Amino acid sequence: MSRREVVVTGLGVVSPIANELNEFWEGIKTGKSGIGQVKSMADIDQYPVTIGGEVRGLDVGKYIEPKDARKMDPFSIYGLVAAIMAVEDAAFDFEKLDCQRAGVIASSGIGGMQIMQNECMKAYEKGPRRISPQLIPQMITNILSGYVSIRYGFKGPNFCVTSACASGTHSIGEAMRIIQYGDADVMVAGGAEASIAMLGVAGFAALRATSRRNEDPSTASRPFDLDRDGFVMSEGAGMLVLEGKQHAIARGAKIYCDASGYGRTGDAYHITAPDAEADEAARGMKLAIADAGLSPEDIDYINAHGTSTPLNDKGETLAIKKALGNDLAYKVAVSSTKSMTGHMLGAAGGVEAAIIALAIRDGIAPPTINYTTPDPDCDLDYVPNIFRTMDINAALSNSLGFGGHNATLCFTKCK
């Protein structure tokens, strides 16, 4: 059976950099950092890590009724707002759209951490009878897909993928598959996260996974740099509208790029550490390239997972070399936009997929900011500090999650 072609027709981003797509993209291009001292936690000075990438200035009431937003965990708010932005960007005529052929895969790595944490504290302090009836529906990771489908009446495939920091990328890849095999014409897909809270900040700090460069937040996320000391946790959401290409053309849709390839593998190695040999991360990239009908020499740009942790950046560099071959790996432009956004966990894949769609459209490889001291183990072209104008015909976006979850998307310039 021949597969249907899939394109990207809508983008929505809520992030520490900006909450409007053009402003967000301008910030990414110019190397704007969204990292600062955490303001939403009154007792943040008690934690070993006091920095993060917080969503600021989001006009929630523009998108969601205040009475509804009060019941929702922030991850659902961010995800629903990003989905609304993406659907509005796609500009559907809803009188003509078959909503039984439209679906949602909107995911989170953790889900409603803030409501879970707050209700647990309430139970300990005031007793179990004080627990909110909203606790269960608002903490589960799949509730975001439910919100999006209810908002638009989308009755096609509807679920979530929870694979830690690979959740958003897996969601987009699985949505691609659904359209390719004819089970839907339109899918909203991506991820959302809101874990800057007691459990999130303390938990990742206890793992020694997050940067402790508290005195200089804007330089704390420094992927591939020799002096990196951990990732910076951030929050937000990234959502895409994927659409069958002929469906999009028939309605005269604006098309950002083709969603051409998808690969996913598992390390089967360790619950938090990547496999030092990087074989499966490399194989995921190879699968995405082959799935797109391309060869390694066709890849112009890679948006790396690039977390700014010692093990990830070294391992991902090796994975790129194994996926492309050494000669080609040194020629491809690689950057980590987490240097600017911080690590948005389950939202990262959605936001970074939006970035490669814009990079292809505009012919711009975003920079890796805060790259000052080269690491001998990380010796590729990381587009240091300043964006690069270049023709991007094919790009990869990598996501690697705790548990050994690897996912790669391949987007290409629309033919």
The residues assigned a catalytic role are 165, 305, 343
The three-class DSSP label of residue 213 is coil
* Environment class of 218 (CB within 10 Å of its CB; exposed 0-12, middle 13-18, buried 19+): middle
d(CA 118, CA 135): 9
The three-class DSSP label of residue 149 is helix
* Residue 92 tokens, joined: 């559907």
Please give the DSSP secondary-structure letter assigned to residue 277: T
d(CA 174, CA 170): 6
Asked if 335 and 313 touch (Cβ cutoff 8 Å), the reply is: no
CA–CA distances in Å: residue 359 to residues 283, 364, 395: 24, 5, 9
User: In the block, which residue shows the tokens 């929702």?
Assistant: 72
Residues 6 or more apart in contact with residue 20 via CB below 8 angstroms: none
Asked if 343 and 228 touch (Cβ cutoff 8 Å), the reply is: no
CA–CA distances in Å: residue 189 to residues 237, 243, 350, 387, 414: 11, 11, 8, 27, 20
For residue 255, how far is the Cα from the chain centroid?
Answer: 20
d(CA 166, CA 348): 8
